[in-house]
């Protein structure tokens, strides 16, 4: 615990420096783009899966409670700064994906407040938002508009998307004929066709072959250089250690530690293997 | 944090009744893509493809004509036009309301991962059904020409009767979709209810065939919707005023109630899936 407070103190210090530099007209490096203030998310978890109306009515009449509350996030407060890469680690069920959903507007916090500045683009899991019977071309437009882009915008970037995914030969074939690597390439290329202000990656980077993987990393570097903020959930500690500026360790819905990536990963791993 | 730049703030909760409309407009290109997807995937690998949207009402009309026309030949001359103009209106209503449910369930997996206004899926159901209705109307016009049915000026009322039908169907679709995401039983149940409603609505028989002791049938709003739609085609004039007004009122009530329930409840969906 003492380490986490120390890190927080250090962060505060660096933030003051950032503000000072801002006043002296140096590039603002510490503008908060995602801010969570005491965010809690409660799920109603059915005690047993009730899915039929009959069961529901019977239980309701018997006065049985149907669900219990489960807090996936407990009073999480973090500020994420423009242009930083924040890695999120934690064991299964620690609340990592819930955190991403809160940032992506999919879940509303049950308590607390979240503010984001700029457009948030979540990189969907493999194949989500694609329809297997539509062609690659049609899926680019479907997926792009799902992400909130207009048809015209997608049209303007269409060639670049197919170039990046290297799928010109298959673009008019239904994607049920694609290999999973091809689908992943198309998904990544479409989702990153426009530089978002905030990009959310939830365990999606281990896709495609080695060469494409490198291409993805290069694109992330480009975005970072241009000011995109990243929140990345990954179980690959090396990735977090080498690519992320800061890391957040979630443990049963609470912030266990936040700070410099290397240090957080070290603590996290010694916790995991102790 | 500069508050003027904030694009999303969970503490600022707008009325979902209004904000959902704005969001739907912002995602109109998505609706366009989803409608295309609906049409392209619905008839994939079928020989007649989208022609089925014309074939289904024509064949059903043929079927009903063969079976029932002799019973109503005195009260309903040109029986096939009577049946078909009522049947395509009915088909539009059932298609819109059922696919509102299937679209929102299909969309549920997406809504769980990414922000999309849920009403986009309902708009998709409406858009696709409207296109199917367009084909069916062409078939109806063909049949009218073939059977020598007169085309009346009253047909210019079609945009209004279509609007009434669409509002009513979407309203029912919104209510059903809200129920369906919580209870998947709704899909099955609606199949049965709709079948019952089909027999209780004068579609392939005249309204006068309903005995007085079953006058409760007249409480069925679909009856007024279908009569409003059918009159210009079959009778060559507008439906009586009280029928049109009842239809319009039912449509407005269904739409407002459906939109209210949907926008208020649908955001609970991620918690349940």
pLDDT in tens, A23-64: 444 444 578 999 999 999 888 776 666 567 777 777 777 766
Mean pLDDT score, B186-208: 91
| Range scoring the smallest mean pLDDT among A27-36, A44-53, A178-187, A254-263 | A44-53
pLDDT band at A129 (very low <50, low <70, confident <90, very high): confident
Q: Where are the beta strands (DSSP E) in chain A?
A: 32-46, 67-81, 85-89, 111-117, 120-123, 198-202, 229-233, 246-251, 254-260
pLDDT in tens, B46-63: 888 888 888 899 999 999
pLDDT band at B174 (very low <50, low <70, confident <90, very high): very high
Q: Which of A53, A56, A117 sits opposite B5 (nearest CB)?
A: A117
% of chain A exceeding 70 in pLDDT: 82
Q: Chain A: nearest CA to B14, how far in angstroms? A: 13
User: Can you give the pLDDT at residue A181?
Assistant: 86
Interface residues on B facing A, Cβ-Cβ cutoff 8 A: 1-2, 5-11, 26-27, 29-30, 32-34, 36-37, 40-41, 44, 109-116, 183-186, 189, 267, 270-272
User: Can you give the pLDDT at residue A247?
Assistant: 94
pLDDT band at A90 (very low <50, low <70, confident <90, very high): very high
Looking up tokens 């949907």, which residue turns up? Answer: B262
Alpha helices in A226-260 (DSSP H): 237-243
Closest CA to A107 of A115, A119, A98: A98
**Distance between CA atoms of residues A167 and A186, nearest Å:** 8
Using a CB–CB cutoff of 8 Å, tell me whether A203 touches chain B.
no
Instruction: Indicate the pairing of strand A254-260 with strand A246-251.
Output: antiparallel
Predicted TM-score (pTM) of this structure: 0.85
User: Can you give the pLDDT at residue A274?
Assistant: 79
- Taking contacts as CB-CB distances below 8 angstroms, the residues of chain B near A129 are 110, 113-114
Say whether pLDDT at A151 is over 70.
yes
If you measure CA to CA, which chain A residue comes closest to B30? Answer: A145
Reduced to 3 states (helix: H, G, I; strand: E, B; else coil), residue B9 is: strand
Q: Chain A: nearest CA to B216, how far in angstroms? A: 27
Q: Chain A: nearest CA to B150, how far in angstroms? A: 43
**Cβ–Cβ below 8 Å for A149 and B29:** yes
Looking up tokens 């899936």, which residue turns up? Answer: B273
| Range scoring the smallest mean pLDDT among A214-228, B124-138, B221-235 | A214-228
* Interacting residues of A126 by C-beta distance below 8 A, sequence separation 6+: A180, A183, A184, A187, A204, A207
Using a CB–CB cutoff of 8 Å, tell me whether A231 touches chain B.
no
User: Can you give the pLDDT at residue A49?
Assistant: 60
Using a CB–CB cutoff of 8 Å, tell me whether A266 touches chain B.
no
Mean pLDDT score, B136-155: 93
| Start-to-end CA span in chain A (Å) | 17
pLDDT in tens, B161-171: 999 999 999 99
Say whether pLDDT at A69 is over 80.
no
Mean pLDDT score, B217-232: 91
In angstroms, the Cα distances linking A68 to A47, A71, B179 are: 7, 10, 21
User: Can you give the pLDDT at residue A173?
Assistant: 94
**Distance between CA atoms of residues B68 and B90, nearest Å:** 18
Mean of the per-residue pLDDT values of chain B: 89
User: Can you give the pLDDT at residue A206?
Assistant: 65
């Amino acid at each position: 615990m003492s380490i986490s407070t120390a890190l927080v103190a250090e962060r505060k210090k660096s933030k003051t420096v950032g503000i000072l530099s801002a006043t002296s007209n140096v590039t603002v490096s510490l503008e908060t783009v995602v801010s969570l203030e005491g965010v809690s998310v409660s799920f109603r978890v059915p005690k047993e899966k009730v899915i039929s109306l009959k069961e529901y009515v019977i239980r309701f009449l018997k006065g049985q409670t149907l669900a219990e509350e489960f807090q996936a996030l407990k009073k999480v407060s973090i500020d994420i700064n423009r242009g930083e890469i924040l890695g999120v680690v934690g064991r299964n069920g620690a609340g990592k994906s819930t955190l991403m959903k809160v940032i992506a507007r999919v879940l509303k916090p049950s308590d607390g407040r979240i503010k984001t500045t700029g457009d948030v683009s979540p990189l969907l899991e493999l194949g989500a938002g694609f329809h297997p019977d539509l062609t690659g071309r049609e899926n680019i437009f479907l997926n792009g508009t799902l992400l909130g882009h207009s048809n015209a915008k997608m049209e303007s970037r269409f060639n670049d998307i197919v170039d990046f995914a290297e799928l010109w030969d298959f673009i008019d074939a239904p994607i049920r004929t694609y290999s999973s690597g091809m689908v992943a390439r198309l998904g990544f290329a479409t989702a990153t066709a426009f530089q978002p202000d905030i990009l959310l990656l939830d365990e999606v980077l281990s896709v495609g072959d080695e060469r494409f993987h490198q291409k993805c990393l290069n694109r992330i570097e480009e975005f970072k250089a241009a000011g995109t903020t990243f929140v990345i959930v990954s179980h690959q500690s090396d990735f977090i250690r080498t690519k992320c500026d800061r890391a957040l360790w979630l443990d049963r819905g609470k912030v266990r530690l936040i700070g410099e990536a290397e240090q957080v990963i070290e603590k996290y791993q010694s916790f995991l293997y102790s | 944090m500069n508050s003027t730049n904030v694009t999303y703030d969970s503490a600022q909760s707008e009325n979902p009744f209004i904000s959902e409309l704005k969001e739907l407009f912002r995602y109109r290109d998505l609706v366009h893509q989803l409608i295309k997807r609906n049409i392209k995937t619905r008839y994939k690998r079928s020989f007649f493809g989208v022609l089925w949207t014309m074939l289904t009402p024509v064949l059903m009309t043929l079927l009903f004509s063969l079976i029932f026309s002799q019973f109503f030949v005195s009260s309903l001359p040109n029986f096939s036009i009577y049946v078909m103009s009522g049947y395509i209106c009915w088909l539009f209503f059932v298609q819109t309301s059922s696919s509102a449910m299937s679209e929102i369930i299909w969309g549920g997996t997406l809504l769980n991962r990414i922000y999309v206004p849920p009403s986009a899926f309902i708009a998709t159901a409406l858009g696709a059904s409207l296109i199917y209705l367009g084909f069916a109307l062409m078939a109806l016009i063909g049949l009218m020409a073939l059977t020598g049915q007169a085309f009346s000026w009253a047909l210019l009322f079609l945009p209004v009767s279509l609007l009434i039908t669409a509002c009513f169907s979407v309203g029912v679709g919104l209510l059903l979709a809200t129920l369906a995401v919580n209870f998947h039983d709704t899909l099955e149940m609606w199949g049965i209810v709709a079948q019952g409603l089909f027999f209780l609505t004068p579609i392939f028989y005249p309204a006068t065939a309903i005995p007085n002791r079953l006058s409760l049938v007249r409480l069925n709003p679909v009856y007024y919707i279908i009569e409003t739609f059918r009159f210009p085609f079959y009778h060559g004039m507008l439906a009586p005023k009280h029928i049109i007004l009842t239809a319009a009122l039912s449509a407005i009530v269904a739409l407002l109630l459906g939109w209210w329930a949907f926008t208020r409840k649908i955001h609970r969906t991620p918690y349940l899936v």
